[in-house]
Structure 1
Amino acid sequence: MRILSIHNNYQIRGGEDESTQAEANLLKANGNQVDIYQDSNERVASLNQVHLASTTIWSTEAYQIVKQKLRTHPTDIVHVQNFFPLISPSVYYAAKSEGVPVVQTLRNYRLICPNGLFFRSDRICEDCLGKFVPYPGVIHACYRENRAASAITATMLTLHRMARTWVNQVDIFITLSQFARQKFIEAGWSEDRIIVKPNFVYPDPGVGSGEGGYALFVGRLSVEKGLDVLIDAWQNLRQPVPLKIVGDGPLVPRVQAAAEKLPHIQWLGRRPLPEVYKLMGEAMVLIFPSKWYETFGRVAVEAFAKGTPVIASNLGAIAELVEDGRTGLRFKPSDPISLAEQVESLISHPEKLPQMRREARAEFEAKYTAQQNYEQLKSIYQLVLSKP
């Protein structure tokens, strides 16, 4: 099978980019031919606002590139991972013009929320959910805190809704969790065209020892990821617990200040993936304090692969991944006292940790291995190809 994978990379490489690359590698490892068409947000700064607006709505360049690729190399499936903002929905039309079916993975909520997160002003926001014209996102400057950029995004969404692009130009949508699927259904999307296929970890990093005696956070240091909740929770712990924080982002100054104030907090900055996996494997527990509706929780699944339980917000897809009392614990979202209580509960019952570690690894083996994921993806492709 030959697949054209399309992806608009971010300036800061993150879980979405890693998951997309892992999927391409997995397809290749199973004997498929994978062509890549990608663009990078690093180009955004070089475009004037008029050009960026027109490209976001309809990129003639991307349309022609995809059309030429499909004519040069007969392709079975076009799999769009992310088209925003430089590639645009024009690539769907290019694929359809060449008779090639289209699969779109919904890695965020962009098609029903201008900022893609359902999060603004430090809280969950569903003001645009179900609205044909997502005008609240413009009023609140939800995309990049810029009203003009938000207006461009809202215009793209509205025009393609009018053109029924999501209905007529895409054969199947993939969400990463049941929670994300339900949000798109709430927005009015047809449930029979949305299939859940989670992310996975490839290659398997192997089980760690869990003997490091510390808690670990891995991710972007930003408000929606709950760094403020994490730091406040550690300030409320009655018994100090070592905490290692891995990542970079806008809240670096707050993390640095916390590390200076509390000697049991250590900020490690960015680390290469092998080192992150080592830290995960030795950690007592991974903390996942997100305040937004995560569409998945790749870091949690990586922790499961290492046999490390997770303490997570009882919110969004991450609550779906972590089974309270078995593969980890859940706490009240945005509540540092609740998080501190769960941390203290875990360390006060160390006899529960070995079983939790076994269950976390068993969860990975049952749901998130590469081969299982490949079989799911292959089934989705076969379903699309079998459509008349």
Structure 2
Amino acid sequence: MRVLIVHERYRQRGGEDVVVESEAALLARNGVEIDLLLGDNTAIEGQGSVGLALRALWSREGHALTRAAIDRFQPDVVHVHNSFPLLSASVFEAAHGMGVPVVQTLHNYRLLCANALLLRDGSRCEDCVGRIFQGPGVRRGCYRGSPAATAAVAGYALSQRLIGVWGRRVTLYHALTPSAAERFARGGIPADRLVVRPPLLEYPSALEPGGGEPRQGALFVGRLSPEKGLDSLLTAWRGVEAPLDVIGDGPEMERLRRMAPAQVRFHGRQPAAAVARAMARAALLVFPSLCYEMFPLTVAEAMAAGLPTLCADGGAAADVLGEAGEPSLFARPGDAADWRDKAAALLADPANLIRLGAAGREAWRARLAPEATVAAALALYRRAISGGPDGTAPSESG
């Protein structure tokens, strides 16, 4: 099987980039021939928001690059992760025109929401889900604070509907969790083309020995940006005695440092090996994200490490935890008092944390470990290929 992976990398490396690299490596190790067509978002620096959004509608360069890559590699299937904004929706038209089936991974909610997060003013928002045009988001300027730029981004989603990307150009859509698939179906993606599978990930945290020392304190790993919920977490931590280690960087770093109590330690961005060591030492991971998220990688990595996670309720973390997601592991997003009480109660019971961590690791081994996910990825590709060059996927459920 030959798979062309298409991805436009982000200016700041994030979870989507990690998934693309991991999937390419694991597929190659399992006998799949891989070629990569990579764009780079660093090229958009200095360009206006409206111009970028308009570029996302159609790119002559993106169309030509995709056709050239297909002509050179002759893939059985094209797997698109991110084509926004520079490669653009033209990649789907190019693949369709050359008779190659397309799988698109839905890494964010861009097709349903201009800011891609389903988040407004710190609260989850679905006002544009199910609308043909994202009018409420345009009025509020949800993309970069600009109604004009938001209109252009909303036009990107609208154009995909109108030119048939949703119905004909994409053979199958890959949703990372059941809750995300449900939202996309309500938003207009054909339900019979939505297939749910977790991403293929390499888990260094699963290999890191604990060292025999008792686990201590709490750990946050992620981008320091408003949607990640650090404000309420740090407010909560004024009432929690245990130390909290924060790994990650982002635009909120200095402000968060200033508001943090003394027992919170900031470590900045760290390599994967250092994160794995931190997970082996911590007693609890905290994941306070205000938005739904798509597939929180740090929660899955913590499960692999036998580290329980206190998560924001109602988001994708519940899908990732699955049967390991007991009620004590969820707190109300943005509610500092609830986070304080839940974190303090968990950290006061080390034996229970060990039990919860072991349950999480068993759930990870059964559903998320590479041995459990590679077969599902190959089945997704085979199903797309069997759909034929006209993009008509089989109607059985994913």
TM over 0.5: yes
Relative to 1, partners in 2 of residues 1:53 and 1:251: Cα closer, same or farther, differing over 3 Å?
closer
Query: In the TM superposition, what whole-angstrom CA distance separates every residue of 1:225-250 from its partner, at most 9, and x where no partner exists?
Result: 1111110110133xx11000011112
Contact preservation (8 Å) 1:304, 1:361:
yes
Question: What secondary structure does 2:316 align onto?
Answer: helix
Whole-angstrom distance in 2 between the partners of 1:203 and 1:320: 18
Displacement after TM superposition at 1:106 (Å): 0.2
Report the counterpart of residue 250 of structure 1 in structure 2.
251
Contact preservation (8 Å) 2:26, 2:200:
no
Relative to 1, partners in 2 of residues 1:207 and 1:271: Cα closer, same or farther, differing over 3 Å?
closer
Query: In the TM superposition, what whole-angstrom CA distance separates every residue of 1:150-204 from its partner, at most 9, and x where no partner exists?
Result: 1221111122222222111000001110010010111132211101111243145
Contact preservation (8 Å) 1:300, 1:310:
yes
Contact preservation (8 Å) 2:5, 2:81:
yes
Report the counterpart of residue 283 of structure 1 in structure 2.
282
Amino acid across the alignment from 1:221:
L
Amino acid across the alignment from 2:226:
V
Amino acid across the alignment from 1:156:
Y
Query: In the TM superposition, what whole-angstrom CA distance separates every residue of 1:215-274 from its partner, at most 9, and x where no partner exists?
Result: 00000111211111110110133xx11000011112212321134xx2211011111110
- Normalised by the length of structure 2, the TM-score is 0.92
Amino acid across the alignment from 1:15:
G
Report the counterpart of residue 301 of structure 2 in structure 1.
302
Unmatched 5+ residue regions in structure 2?
389-398
Report the counterpart of residue 56 of structure 1 in structure 2.
56
Relative to 1, partners in 2 of residues 1:212 and 1:56: Cα closer, same or farther, differing over 3 Å?
same
Question: What is the identity percentage for the equivalent residue pairs of Structure 1 and Structure 2?
Answer: 35
Whole-angstrom distance in 2 between the partners of 1:324 and 1:341: 20
Contact preservation (8 Å) 2:115, 2:142:
yes
Report the counterpart of residue 141 of structure 1 in structure 2.
141
Report the counterpart of residue 2 of structure 1 in structure 2.
2
Whole-angstrom distance in 2 between the partners of 1:339 and 1:8: 36
Question: What secondary structure does 2:79 align onto?
Answer: strand
Q: In the alignment, is residue 211 of structure 1 matched against residue 214 of structure 2?
A: yes
Contact preservation (8 Å) 1:215, 1:244:
yes
Report the counterpart of residue 25 of structure 1 in structure 2.
25
Unmatched 5+ residue regions in structure 1?
none
Contact preservation (8 Å) 2:284, 2:347:
no
Contact preservation (8 Å) 1:309, 1:328:
no
Question: What secondary structure does 1:316 align onto?
Answer: coil
Amino acid across the alignment from 1:223:
P
Displacement after TM superposition at 1:112 (Å): 0.9
Identify the match of residue 230 of structure 1 among 215, 230, 233: 233
Report the counterpart of residue 99 of structure 2 in structure 1.
99
Whole-angstrom distance in 2 between the partners of 1:377 and 1:328: 32
Displacement after TM superposition at 1:327 (Å): 9.8
Whole-angstrom distance in 1 between the partners of 2:274 and 2:91: 37
Displacement after TM superposition at 1:50 (Å): 7.1
Query: In the TM superposition, what whole-angstrom CA distance separates every residue of 1:50-90 from its partner, at most 9, and x where no partner exists?
Result: 75344211011111111111112211010000111111111
Amino acid across the alignment from 2:225:
S
Q: In the alignment, is residue 167 of structure 1 matched against residue 172 of structure 2?
A: no
Whole-angstrom distance in 1 between the partners of 2:49 and 2:258: 37
Relative to 1, partners in 2 of residues 1:47 and 1:232: Cα closer, same or farther, differing over 3 Å?
closer
Contact preservation (8 Å) 2:243, 2:264:
yes
Report the counterpart of residue 319 of structure 2 in structure 1.
320
Query: In the TM superposition, what whole-angstrom CA distance separates every residue of 1:323-347 from its partner, at most 9, and x where no partner exists?
Result: 5665971112221111111112112
Query: In the TM superposition, what whole-angstrom CA distance separates every residue of 1:21-69 from its partner, at most 9, and x where no partner exists?
Result: 1001111111211111111111112546675344211011111111111
Relative to 1, partners in 2 of residues 1:241 and 1:45: Cα closer, same or farther, differing over 3 Å?
same
Amino acid across the alignment from 1:125:
C
Displacement after TM superposition at 1:148 (Å): 2.8
Whole-angstrom distance in 1 between the partners of 2:314 and 2:91: 34
Whole-angstrom distance in 1 between the partners of 2:229 and 2:52: 31
Let me know the Cα RMSD of the aligned residues.
Answer: 1.8
- Normalised by the length of structure 1, the TM-score is 0.94
Report the counterpart of residue 270 of structure 1 in structure 2.
269
Question: What secondary structure does 1:37 align onto?
Answer: strand
Question: What secondary structure does 1:80 align onto?
Answer: strand
Greater RCO, CA 8 A, separation 6+: 2
Whole-angstrom distance in 2 between the partners of 1:327 and 1:305: 20
Amino acid across the alignment from 1:277:
A
Contact preservation (8 Å) 1:5, 1:37:
yes
Contact preservation (8 Å) 1:291, 1:315:
no
Amino acid across the alignment from 2:13:
R
Greater CA deviation, 300-309 or 206-215? 206-215
